[in-house]
Amino acid sequence: MTDEELLIDSNEYLKSGIHIGTKFKTKYMKNFIYKTRPDGLSVLNLKKIDERIAIAANLLANYNPEDILFVSRRENGWKALKLLNKLTGIKIINGRYPPGMLTNPNLEIFCEPKILFACDPWPDKNAVQDAMKAGIPIIGLCDTNNESNNLDFVIPANNKGKKSVGLIVYLIAREYMRKKNMLRGDEELKEPIEDFVEE
């Protein structure tokens, strides 16, 4: 596979550790696993990761920023989501998801996004469950140990690493902005990948 076919140079993917899974693997994720290393860690298929980031960005581009909600309970995604919000206007929740936000119209914070993106369906499970109840499609970043039965679309990836999550959000921001004509043609983001990564 040549780098021209990928969203970004394969070395950037490898450097971020996006393909390094955990020692535990669920039946949901076996189709995305390329091999298991001698140390027991699973390795995700880089081509599938890249394809699915591109599909997710295309899917998100069908929605206006105010209709998209990204959630990240884990701190490894907070910096990336803040920058995504600043660049695109996409709504985000960093940290604890407020219960009932998607299901209880009596709450002041009630909102009705048309699609949800969870950085890790396990710590973000309350948002995922509410989105399911509200009939909102869900995209989730899933490591080899995740269950994906409640998701509509899976992006296989190391969702524990800050570099890996930062790179995915960077690529989604860039592709979303290109599709929405916020960037011209193959124009790159002015913000480097490093700006999306937690210190």
Give 120-149 as a DSSP string.
-TTTTHHHHHHHHHHT--EEEEE-TT---T
Contact 197, 191 (CB under 8 A): no
**Total-model pTM:** 0.95
Is position 17 within any domain?
no
Q: Which one, of 87, 73, 83, lies nearest residue 140 by Cα?
A: 73
pLDDT tens-digit series, residues 103-152: 999 999 999 999 999 999 999 999 999 999 999 999 999 999 999 999 99
Q: Which domain holds residue 133?
A: 45-180
The pLDDT of residue 199: 75
Is position 168 within any domain?
yes
- Assign 186 a pLDDT band (cuts: 50, 70, 90): confident
The pLDDT of residue 75: 96
pLDDT tens-digit series, residues 17-68: 999 999 999 999 999 999 999 999 999 999 999 999 999 999 999 999 999 9
The pLDDT of residue 185: 83
Mean pLDDT across the stretch 155-163? 96
| Whole-number Å distance between alpha carbons of 132 and 169 | 23
Is position 189 within any domain?
no
Is position 152 within any domain?
yes
Q: Which one, of 172, 170, 128, 158, lies nearest residue 29 by Cα?
A: 158
**127 CA to centre of own chain:** 14
pLDDT at 178 over 70: yes
| Whole-number Å distance between alpha carbons of 152 and 117 | 10
The pLDDT of residue 74: 95
Q: How many domains does the chain have?
A: 1
| Whole-number Å distance between alpha carbons of 173 and 123 | 23
The pLDDT of residue 2: 57
Contacts of 161 (CB under 8 A, 6+ apart): 16, 17, 18, 20, 76
What CATH number does residue 152 fall under?
3.40.50.10490
pLDDT at 5 over 90: no
| Residue that has been written with the tokens 């499609």 in this structure | 137
